[in-house]
Amino acid sequence: MSISATTPEQAPLGRRIKRFMSDYPLVPLIILLVLLVLVLNIIQPGILNQRWVGNTIKFAIPLALMAGCQTMTMLTGGIDLSVGTAATMAAFIVATQGAIHDPATAMLMALVPALCIGFVNGIGVGVFRVHPLIMTLGTSLIGVGCLQVYQRTVIASGAKVPDFLIWLGTGVTWGFPNALLLFIPVAALLIFIQKRTGFGRLLYAIGDNERATRLAGVKYWQVILALYMFSSLLAGVMGLLYMGLIRAPSLSLAEPLVLTSVAAAVIGGTSIFGGRGSYTGTIVGALILQVMITLLTVLQMPEGARRMLFGAIILAVTAAYLRIIDDK
């Protein structure tokens, strides 16, 4: 880094491209997004219209919200695999309680279990120092069990998704999806937390060098506890929105999005080792994946091949970032 920075004109092209990509990760991402849309338009001419754009954004928003959980936790070198369960619980509870209580109460009730999952995650990771991946996998197992027990108690009462959520999830105003009303403030909040608050800086600091951060007097477990509770809350909100979009309660509603959300954050330039990344990149990553999913659907690729592709993408992108960091 220091040599190439003092004599940039002598640096080989490959290194300059690498440096540019690590300094401005958004530029190659947006180029990739545009390329994918162009490919899609060549394969299926005429697909590119306002309705398609609106639909893509509508489905990319829940993904981007869930990828927000991954971005935040990955900044500290963690990961949150329980977000699928937290979101599903929130969605299922709001649909079933919506039939009994008024929408506001149902929504508040729906967010409680999500917060509980986040609390247990935070204690496990922050106090007992369990690896986040194993901890969140474990809590998601418990959560699924709880949801199954809960399902049997409400099986008679039926389900009703609050109208407000349906309006938010599926509605379109002046060509823009209503979900943007939720997404733009949340995205702004996430970016604000990451860039402008002490909490956000602590996340980067812990991901960069946990030991140094602790020696500097940071209460590690408090930061981690707040982080995982925030992540689960965000997942719960995402579950509510997703319920409004899908409108059919099920016990595995948001589960398929977990893997994709990890991929979105990784593609968006968030390092899975912590300390690097931003939510802006993740949003573009989610859009890229959503376009890619359309592309794979147009190409009639089976679900299995899609999963294999996502796994390969996560591995390839992580390895590539590792090379870039190594060069510095």
Partner 1 sequence: MMRILRQQGWIAGLLVLFVLLFIAARVIQPSYGAGDFGSLVSAVLPFAFAVAAQTVVVIAGGIDLSVAAMMAVTSVTAAALMAGASEEFALLVVPFVLLMGFALGALNGILIVVTRVPDIVVTLATLFMLQGAALLILPAPGGGSADWLRSLIFGTVPLPVLPAAVTAWFPKALLLLVVLLCIVWIPLKRSRLGLSIYAIGSNELAAFRSGVPVARTKILAYAIGGLFGAMGGLSLTMSTGIGAPIPGPYLMASVAAVVLGGVVLGGGKGGLLGPIIAVFVLRLARTVLTLLAIDPNVTAIVEGTILVAVVMFGAFIAMRSRQS
Residues at the interface with partner 1 (CB under 8 A): 120, 124, 128-131, 133-135, 137-139, 141-142, 144-146, 148-149, 152, 259, 262, 272-273, 302-312, 314-315, 318-319, 322
**Whole-number Å distance between alpha carbons of 122 and 115:** 10
Kindly tell me which of 104 and 312 has the beta carbon lying closer to partner 1: 312
Half-sphere exposure of 101 (CA within 13 A, CB side): 14
Q: Which residue has the tokens 């823009």?
A: 176
Q: Find the shortest distance in angstroms from Cβ 5 to partner 1.
A: 25
Kindly tell me which of 81 and 106 has the beta carbon lying closer to partner 1: 81
**Whole-number Å distance between alpha carbons of 73 and 39:** 33
The residue count for the chain = 328
Q: Find the shortest distance in angstroms from Cβ 297 to partner 1.
A: 16
Q: Find the shortest distance in angstroms from Cβ 264 to partner 1.
A: 14
Kindly tell me which of 56 and 70 has the beta carbon lying closer to partner 1: 70
Kindly tell me which of 34 and 315 has the beta carbon lying closer to partner 1: 315
Q: Which helix (H) or strand (E) holds 244?
A: helix 220-246
Kindly tell me which of 72 and 182 has the beta carbon lying closer to partner 1: 72
Name 321's Cβ contacts closer than 8 Å, sequence gap at least 6.
Answer: 269, 271, 276
Q: Do the bridges between strand 176-177 and strand 172-173 make them parallel or antiparallel, or are there none, so unpaired? A: antiparallel
Closest CA to 115 of 151, 150, 139, 99: 139
Is residue 210 a contact partner of residue 217, using CB atoms and an 8 Å limit? no
**Whole-number Å distance between alpha carbons of 78 and 87:** 19
272: DSSP letter: T
Q: Find the shortest distance in angstroms from Cβ 54 to partner 1.
A: 30
**Whole-number Å distance between alpha carbons of 309 and 319:** 15
Kindly tell me which of 78 and 98 has the beta carbon lying closer to partner 1: 78
Q: Find the shortest distance in angstroms from Cβ 11 to partner 1.
A: 24
Kindly tell me which of 42 and 152 has the beta carbon lying closer to partner 1: 152
The two three-digit tokens of residue 229, written as one number: 């509770």
Q: Find the shortest distance in angstroms from Cβ 66 to partner 1.
A: 16
Is residue 204 a contact partner of residue 188, using CB atoms and an 8 Å limit? no
Q: Find the shortest distance in angstroms from Cβ 207 to partner 1.
A: 14
